[in-house]
Amino acid sequence: MSVTVRYFAGARAASGVDTESRDAATLDELVGQIVDAHGEKLERVLTACSFLVDGTTTRNRALQLSPGAVVDVLPPFAGG
């Protein structure tokens, strides 16, 4: 099933893309695919990231993804 992955801030820099499509049934499977595709730099960034799946925050990597889901990869943001 195809899902859309959108990268923000440091995750975008580490992956080298803004968005991409992947076929994954769970968040864990998706994370494995994007680490395999984009390498160690993204893997390091992902340790601090949270994920939004269709607008809902999760860190549950066993989460089942629905067909057409949108997964936002969000590293911590600095601000003031």
pLDDT score recorded for residue 46: 93
pLDDT above 90: residue 80: no
Query: Domains plus CATH for the chain?
Result: 2-74 (3.10.20.30)
Q: Are 14 and 41 in contact (CB under 8 A)?
A: yes
Averaged over 12-25, what is the pLDDT?
97
pLDDT above 80: residue 77: no
Distance separating alpha carbons of residues 27 and 6, to the nearest angstrom: 13
Sheet bearing 70-74, strands edge to edge: 19-23, 2-7, 70-74, 50-53, 56-58
Q: Tens digit of pLDDT for each residue in 25-67?
A: 999 999 999 999 999 999 999 999 999 999 999 989 999 999 9
pLDDT score recorded for residue 78: 54
